[in-house]
Structure 1
Amino acid sequence: MVAASLTAVEAFVLAALGVFELANLSSIRLTMGVTTSVFFLAAAAGLAWCAWSLWKVRRWARGPVVMAQLIQLGLAWNLWAGETKPLSVALAVVALVVIVGLVHRSSTEVLERESYG
């Protein structure tokens, strides 16, 4: 449940970034702003669906969520230098907590039980 909840928070943050990007559109970078917004909103929708599916104990959702966390760890690595270090640490901690939560023995047992009924 912790992993599903944190994944839902990540989806909310991505959606907020998409909305903020739309709110700050300018004619100079219209195409980039729109495509970035669409990407963030689509990623947020997918992550929210996965979070909901984890909450409902759907085994298939574990793979996409783990992949999203691995991407987030890569982003945290890229943000490690300078003023973005606190953001890097926050991203890495959340990603690691979600991954550990998904591979934890009790989570695996519940998700495996769902697939074999």
Structure 2
Amino acid sequence: MPVTPPPLVVAAALTGVEALVLAGLGALETANLTSGRLTMGVTTAAFFLGAAAALGWCAWALRGVRRWARGPVVMAQLILLGLAWNLWAGSTKPLSAGLAVVGLVVIAGLLHPASTRALEADER
């Protein structure tokens, strides 16, 4: 198994935390289903749980230095940065700043030269 550089380990770990948060949101949505919004609740929970599974799989693959996982994780971080931008108002500024920091740290970890070398070596 190839050696995982520290920046890639950090990116994978934060991606794993994001997956756990999404799983928690899916569980909360499932726990709060009501008959008045059953369809919306089920589809939202399924989306969160599916996204959590996919992101968790990508985090695991990054930890194993699998190149294919970089693209989906970068896309998820770009979505996270867009969400942070939209939340930048009033009382949600601290949450927005936290989301932006996590997204930027993950992207920096993925684009770090040591991470790039390790992921490119996976292709050979």
Residue type at the aligned position of 2:67: R
Give the AA of the match of 1:45: A
TM-score calculated relative to the size of structure 2 = 0.93
Separation of aligned partners in 1, 2:40 and 2:93: 26
Query: Aligned residue for 2:14?
Result: 6
Letter in 2 for 1:8: G
CA RMSD, 1 decimal = 0.4
Match of 1:68 in 2: 76
Give the number of aligned pairs. 116
Name stretches of at least 5 consecutive residues in structure 1 with no aligned partner: none
What residue in structure 2 maps to residue 80 of structure 1? 88
Secondary structure of the residue aligned to 1:2 is helix
* Aligned 1:1-117 pairs, distance under 5 A: 1-116=9-124
SS in 2 for 1:57: coil
| Distance in structure 1 (CA, Å) of the matches to 2:97 and 2:82 | 12
Shift of 1:114: 1.2
Q: Displacement of 1:13 after TM fit?
A: 0.2
| % identical aligned pairs | 72
Q: Flag as ranges the 4+ runs of structure 1 deviating above 4 A.
A: none
For normalisation by structure 1, the TM-score amounts to 0.98
1-structure distance, mates of 2:98, 2:38: 31
Deviation at 1:53, TM superposition (A): 0.3
Structure 1 counterpart of 2:105, one-letter code: V
Map of 2:6 onto structure 1: none
Q: Which has the higher contact order (CA 8 A, sep 6+)?
A: 2
Describe the SS at the equivalent of 1:18.
helix
Structure 1 residue 16: Cα displacement: 0.3
